[in-house]
Structure 1
Amino acid sequence: MRLNFYLLLTLLLCRTIYARTYGIIGGFSGVMVYNCKTSLNEILIKNGYGEAKSILFGPGVTGAIVINNIYIGGWGYMLPGEIMENGINRFYYTESFGTFNIGYVALNERNFVLIPKVGMGGCYKEIQVANSTINNADFSHLIENPGNLSIFKCNSISFEASLLTLLKLDFIHIGLSIGYIYSPQNQWAISGSGGYSVNAINSPPASVHNFYISTGIFLGAFTRNIQQEIQDKEDRKENGK
């Protein structure tokens, strides 16, 4: 049994090395992202907002080319803002992420593609807190006392590791991706235009760990070298297909 397993593994590795894949894909997906907001929620609950959600959903976009089995591309997502109120103020949270990816086509069968990949990019988180009881804002007063809205931002370089699988249906593919994103910068800052930024003291740390699952529809095509296609045809003939 063990010998059969090693023989099968060797065969798959040989096929991967022998079959050179080329192609291009692009498409849209739905993304589910999890990050821990325990520290943030402690402050929100204390101030009457309730808990911010740890799981958020949003749209994602992907584009890539494959040259000689090497996957080169990028992808990103944007999570719609979450809004909560405590009767006086309105709390708004949003998050987005984008990365450059490089990977390798580990498996390319007739109807299935498997691509592990890594990436580096950036993660952006933003919190807005506004006084929701104001219904008559005097422009001159707000210019002099701009205290009705506070914006906190957290920008970080990010590192990603993920696994992309594609079910090939001619030029339309169904994709499923799972991954992990590490964003080491977790300090919130009050930010403004012109590069103005001041770290917010006593702020809860932003989550540095993001886990995600995405699925979507992609357009494109994958091809293998001529020798591999000929070999596949011969294999199908031998199997009576």
Structure 2
Amino acid sequence: TAALVGQSEDPSPRHSVPPGAAVAFFEERARQLGLGCQKVEVAPGYVVTVLTWPGTNPALSSILLNSHTDVVPVFKEHWSHDPFEAFKDSEGYIYARGAQDMKCVSIQYLEAVRRLKVEGHRFPRTIHMTFVPDEEVGGHQGMELFVQRPEFHALRAGFALDEGIANPTDAFTVFYSERSPWCKARLCLKTTTTTKTPDNNNNNNKNTPLSWRRSRGEEGERA
């Protein structure tokens, strides 16, 4: 993680780390782990890096593990340690710009693959790890363009994991899609019933108000 901590407070993806440093970091990890490495420049200066562990059955759709390398701005006065030092305390906590959001996930993917390969595991499905450059500013110069390219379609992803939420325990919180509440609306229109009597017209207005039922589902389940 320390290798990916930039020295700029600018939130722009290009300033998250020194130019090319993140890509070079993943290239070196790919070499060490014996993984394929593909660099796709989706826009000038914006590179999506793809590391690939081939499966034993290429006919199957693949697994896609996605994370991003850009980070949010830094306000040093709110930090207990220098955010650019990647300080690790006696309890194992790391204080570094972007360590939680979300370089910790990138490292978890890499470490999981490393351990599985060391233990001699092979899997039927190919596993791709993608590292995108601009999630924090909308993804318009990253994943949004990448999914439109032939390089993405060639991955044949059948299942994907992306960013969730940090958990200080050993449990993993799993979400489906975005963590947003869902809302159901039941609309009952105003109706008017007219009953004629011998001497006049009597209007009986039956009003049924608009009723809303709002429900927030559980935001996640511990796996």
- TM interval, short-chain normalised: under 0.3
The normalised TM-score by structure 1 is 0.24
Larger Cα-atom Rg? 2
| Greater percentage in strand | 1
